[in-house]
Amino acid sequence: MKLQIRRLAHGLGAEVRGADLSNLDTAAFDAIHAAWMEHLVLVFPEQRLTGLRFAAFSERFGDLEILGSYQGLDEYMDPDCRGLMTVTNRNIRNEPSRTRAVGRKWHADRSFVPQAPIGTFLYCREIPEVGGDTLFSNQYRAYDTLSEGLKGVLDGLWAVHDVLGRQDSLVKALSPEELARKRLMDPPTAQPVVRVHEVTGKKALYVSEAVTTAILGMTEKESRPLLEYLFRHSVKPEFTYRHHWRVDDVVMWDNRCAMHLALADFDPAQFRTMLRTSVVGPVTGHALKEY
């Protein structure tokens, strides 16, 4: 069956029908990859996959990122595939899930490490009666719509990405021992403010309100107004797509040129459960151990 690809928003996103993700031939995979490069976010409705088949589809785009012990999330990882993770607000081992409130600020996944994932994949297994949506924003358009003068300023700049600098509820919940261990594993990382996509060659903004804390070479007072402007500009409504999840949706997005935000727009007493994978990318940043 020929793939049917339909745009979902002006900013980014497309729905793909006619694809069985557990059984793709080379031509179908190539068409999906081309659509991914064009639309940044792809939605595959009504998939019927096991967790391992979902992981196998993801792995066709590159090596799976393995978080597990590194993040202290062993109990969320599939024992048969360490690159397959459960993101849920259900209790885990009779304790509140540590993944229940992830992604509540705009971000590109794990930009706070030098080798951030190029792509992330979610497979919806449970969704509340209403809500549980995810927003996406096109960072090609965010960059392209800046003035030529500001582009000239930003090209070549580097920014500090620090997962512990955001001081959100998840960070504040860490014990002093956990905080020290995470700081050792995830020191602040320098990333380019403007990232050049290694496949398309296009430029995209690569800063986020979740983890970008400063511009290298500037004081905090100098860099903060610039970053605040970029944070607001990068998520203008005309750059965005809002995904209303349905059970058995598979959604994949390109972290090199798209940001996302998991909305807390649902009753926390209802369950939201996703399977998650991510694909390792090239090294684009470097750790700032002395920062």
Residues identified as active-site: 107, 109, 260, 276
Q: How far apart, in Å, do the first and last CA atoms of the chain sit?
A: 54
Q: Which of 81, 82, 197, 191 is nearest to 139 (CA)?
A: 197
Strands (E), 154-284: 158-161, 189-192, 194-196, 203-205, 212-215, 240-243, 250-254, 258-262, 273-280
Q: How many CB atoms lie within 10 A of CB 1?
A: 8
Beta strands in the chain (DSSP E): 4-7, 14-17, 41-44, 77-78, 81-88, 117-126, 134-138, 158-161, 189-192, 194-196, 203-205, 212-215, 240-243, 250-254, 258-262, 273-280, 286-287
Instruction: For residue 169, list its beta bridge partners.
Output: none
- Going 114 to 221 to 183 to 71, the CA torsion angle's sign is negative
213 within 8 A of 80, measured Cβ to Cβ: no
Question: In one letter, which amino acid is 162?
Answer: D
Q: Is 177 helix (H, G, I), strand (E, B) or coil?
A: helix
